[in-house]
């Protein structure tokens, strides 16, 4: 087996990190150097990531019938109640950890080349599935990224379920009371397969990780000279 260090598995967020700066992706996913904690955003009591994890957990517990809805989820009370009912009826799954090998066949999470985490998956009649992703934070400024993520969820669904003909992906913006929905049929979603696959292969076969300093990527990276110093080229 070729032992050259590579980032051997990918997710949508990893792919974005890699495409923005290969060195950052190497430090984070290959060398596994933890990023430094960032200062709390003004007026916030929790880091955005910690808050996101907490909200996802309480949403899952509510749908499983293990807790009540918390006020932060009130804007989606109706949707969560419906999801809870579907879960009770066995028509919804929660916390889907989907793994795929490099020919996009389902495999275990541990051995996966592609990993996709889904918050809820609902099976409807007529070979139709609905995939739901809870979002904390804003949609504005993230539209392109989130639309691509929706496509990747749809691609993952049609690969995992060969009989599925239609996929609806819903992003629930819990802080903004906004639900964004896209419908895909198998044929239309597969048109995006080659493009995603090519990007993923470029990432998982890469063996050189040059820095790509620029004010936009370095601003959100803690490996630079003003942070941990693992990267000397950051600006």
Residues forming the site for ligand SF4 (CB under 6 A): 21, 23-24, 211-213, 217-218, 221, 223-224, 231, 233-234
Residue (146 or 212) nearer to ligand SF4, CB: 212
Beta bridge partners of 135: 173
Considering the complex, what minimum distance in angstroms separates the CB of residue 32 from ligand SF4? 14
- Cα–Cα–Cα angle for 168, 174, 178, nearest 5°? 60
Task: Determine the distance from the C-alpha atom of residue 141 to the mean position of all C-alpha atoms in its chain, rounded to a whole number.
Answer: 16
Residue (155 or 221) nearer to ligand SF4, CB: 221
Considering the complex, what minimum distance in angstroms separates the CB of residue 117 from ligand SF4? 24
103: number of Cβ within 10 Å: 9
Residue (99 or 234) nearer to ligand SF4, CB: 234
Q: Which residues contact 144 (CB under 8 A, 6 or more apart)?
A: none
Considering the complex, what minimum distance in angstroms separates the CB of residue 147 from ligand SF4? 24
Considering the complex, what minimum distance in angstroms separates the CB of residue 10 from ligand SF4? 18
Residue (17 or 119) nearer to ligand SF4, CB: 17
Considering the complex, what minimum distance in angstroms separates the CB of residue 146 from ligand SF4? 22
In our burial notation (b when 16+ CB lie closer than 10 A, e otherwise), range 52-65 reads: beebbebbbebbee
Residue (77 or 235) nearer to ligand SF4, CB: 235
Q: Residue with the closest Cβ to ligand SF4?
A: 234
Contact assessment for residue 134 and residue 172, using Cβ atoms and an 8 Å cutoff = yes
**CA separation for the pair 221, 230 (Å, rounded):** 11
């Amino acid at each position: 087996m070729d032992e050259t260090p590579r980032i051997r598995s990918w997710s949508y967020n990893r792919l974005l990190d890699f495409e923005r700066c290969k060195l950052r992706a190497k430090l984070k996913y290959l060398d596994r150097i933890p990023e430094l904690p960032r200062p709390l955003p003004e007026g916030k009591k929790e880091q955005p990531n910690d808050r996101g994890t907490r909200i996802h957990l309480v949403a899952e517990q509510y749908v499983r019938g293990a807790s009540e809805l918390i006020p932060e989820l009130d804007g989606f009370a109706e949707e969560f109640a419906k999801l809870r009912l579907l879960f009770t009826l066995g028509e919804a799954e929660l916390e889907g950890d989907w793994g795929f090998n490099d020919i996009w066949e389902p495999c275990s999470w541990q051995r996966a080349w592609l990993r996709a985490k889904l918050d809820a998956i609902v099976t409807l009649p007529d070979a139709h599935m609905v995939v739901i992703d809870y979002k904390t934070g804003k949609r504005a400024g993230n539209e392109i990224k989130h639309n691509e993520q929706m496509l990747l969820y749809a691609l993952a669904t049609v690969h995992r379920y060969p009989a599925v003909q239609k996929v609806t992906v819903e992003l629930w913006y819990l802080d903004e009371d906004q639900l964004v929905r896209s419908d895909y049929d198998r044929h239309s979603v597969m048109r995006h397969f080659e493009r995603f696959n090519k990007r993923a292969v470029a990432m998982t076969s890469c063996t050189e990780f040059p820095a790509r300093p620029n004010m936009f990527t370095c601003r959100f990276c803690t490996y630079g000279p003003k942070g941990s110093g693992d990267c000397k080229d950051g600006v």
